[in-house]
Amino acid sequence: MTSALIVLAAGKGTRMNSDLPKVLHPLGGAPMLHHALQAGASLEPEQTVVVTGFGADLVRKAAQDWDADIQTVEQAEQLGTGHAVQQAQAALAGFEGRAIVLYGDTPFVSPDTLARLIAANSDVTVLGFEAADPGRYGRLIVAENQLLKIVEYADASNEERAVTLCNSGVISCNATLLFDLLSRVTNDNAAGEFYLTDIIALARDAGHSTGVVTCLEAETLGINSRAQLAEAEAAFQAQARATAMENGVTLTAPDTVYFALDTFIGRDTVIEPNVVFGPGVTIESGATIKAFSHLEGAHVSRGATIGPYARLRPGAEISEAARIGNFVEVKNAQIETGAKVNHLSYVGDARVGAAANIGAGTITCNYDGVMKHHTDIGARAFIGSNTMLVAPVAIGDDAMTASGSVITSDVPDEALAIARARQEVKPGLATKLFEMLKSNRQKRDKGSS
């Protein structure tokens, strides 16, 4: 049977105390919403509908950044989870498979759990969990292995509140049946809301089967506050570190390495302590990322070495066996096979040819205050220390620049460019100068006593 996802993301998230919609707060370098969408994508849904409300334009954009085919519908007023799901009805007109409801603020539901949920053979299946502290969660009321109903905390009797099997909010149900049941939900309850959870009792009254699939409580962690966001970040990082190590990556101090949702690292890469991966990083096998490096939007090829203390920014493309050393920043630049940028340099909007060597303190002066310009450095070129490459400029294959040069025009293949004042040497002048300075100091000291 085909699947469609309905992702609820209309809430403001009042307890976040933020102008940003809750589901857009970053977790592992990606909007929280992307985590739920990624888990849902494992079901290969035919359609995905995100229900927006607070900050609808921003949430729509974030959803479509994830996948341009995602549909969004706006719930103008947040009248409850049942009402929110109903907003997806028109978008799913004609869809006859199963609908799975996810929450945009519940990032950790695993693909494996979703697979078990849709494999269940009841007409309506709820994802439940045993709560250590059931708090205000909806309670799953089960008798003789049958899910009878879900009772919201505010509406529950003391006996019902004693139940520890809770509703995660994730539900799987044939779409036609779902919308049929929802059309019969009322807001006659403690919160005055249209509860999605009411469809269980309605389904049973109409003779449909209902069931529960359970998962670990950790998977159902919902984020309502900044404190919970920090907890979720810690949980995400712990998982990402464990996964990296399972995939054959060495982390010498795992607790100090931070990953993003889309970080990809190949086997036998070594990551030293205190490395941060922002969004969009891929590292191939056998690379080494040394301590205190920060990478985002970068690709590192086999056997390359980065850091310590390196910064790779978006568009950094580091080829095989290239070397980026300490206090080097690379942005939107291709560092070709075996090239070296070892110390204290900025390489932006550039190509550094294979086996070229960039001396310490080299800067590509890529920005004239208005526009960015390109620097091209040929294969095996040798850029002397403290060269300023004023872009646009091209250095040929096997060319050299003298240290301290300010290079403003192109250097042909195999040429040496020297662009600095010529050195003069004055014999004995240092001694004379020292004597003059000392006598000046004596005169000053006498004058002041």
Binding site for ligand UD1 (CB under 6 A): 8-11, 51, 53, 75, 78-81, 83-84, 103-105, 137-138, 150, 152, 166-169, 195-197, 222
Whichever of 172 and 197 has its CB closer to ligand UD1, that residue is 197
Whichever of 103 and 179 has its CB closer to Ca ion, that residue is 103
Q: Which residues pair with 383 in a beta bridge?
A: 358, 401
Least distance from ligand UD1 to the Cβ atom of residue 39, Å: 14
**Token couple for 277:** 């991966």
**Token couple for 432:** 């004379």
Give the C-alpha separation, 92 to 94, whole Å. Answer: 6
E strand or H helix at 236, and its extent?
helix 226-246
What is the footprint of Ca ion within residues 213-242 (CB under 5 A)? 222
Partner that binds at residue 80, options Ca ion, ligand UD1, none, CB closer than 5 to 8 Å by kind? ligand UD1
Whichever of 21 and 325 has its CB closer to ligand UD1, that residue is 21
The upper half-sphere exposure of residue 272, i.e. CA atoms within 13 Å in the direction of its Cβ, equals 14
Partner that binds at residue 8, options Ca ion, ligand UD1, none, CB closer than 5 to 8 Å by kind? ligand UD1
CB closest to Ca ion, residue no: 222
Active-site residue, 25 included: no
Question: Mutual orientation of helices 32-41 and 226-246 as an angle, nearest 10°?
Answer: 50
Residue 166's alpha-carbon distances to 170, 171, 414, in angstroms, are 11, 13, 73
Whichever of 222 and 279 has its CB closer to ligand UD1, that residue is 222
Partner that binds at residue 303, options ligand UD1, Ca ion, none, CB closer than 5 to 8 Å by kind? none
Least distance from ligand UD1 to the Cβ atom of residue 42, Å: 20
Partner that binds at residue 128, options Ca ion, ligand UD1, none, CB closer than 5 to 8 Å by kind? none
Task: Give the residue among 87, 4, 90, 27 at the shortest CA–CA distance from 52.
Answer: 87
Give the C-alpha separation, 279 to 291, whole Å. Answer: 19
Least distance from Ca ion to the Cβ atom of residue 227, Å: 15
Residue 116's alpha-carbon distances to 65, 276, 370, in angstroms, are 28, 34, 56
Q: Name the DSSP class of 372.
A: B
List the helix and strand counts (H, then E) for the chain: 9, 35
Task: Yes or no: say if 35 and 23 are a contact pair by the CB < 8 Å rule.
Answer: no
Whichever of 152 and 296 has its CB closer to ligand UD1, that residue is 152
Q: Which of 208, 343, 373, 374 is catalytic?
A: 343
Partner that binds at residue 104, options Ca ion, ligand UD1, none, CB closer than 5 to 8 Å by kind? ligand UD1
What is the footprint of Ca ion within residues 355-394 (CB under 5 A)? none
Least distance from Ca ion to the Cβ atom of residue 66, Å: 22
Q: DSSP H helical segments within 42-174, as ranges? A: 56-66, 81-86, 111-119, 158-161
CB closest to ligand UD1, residue no: 138
The upper half-sphere exposure of residue 22, i.e. CA atoms within 13 Å in the direction of its Cβ, equals 25
Least distance from ligand UD1 to the Cβ atom of residue 170, Å: 9
Partner that binds at residue 197, options Ca ion, ligand UD1, none, CB closer than 5 to 8 Å by kind? ligand UD1
Least distance from ligand UD1 to the Cβ atom of residue 97, Å: 22
- The residues of the shown chain that bind Ca ion, judged by CB under 5 A, are 222
Q: Which residues are catalytic?
A: 343
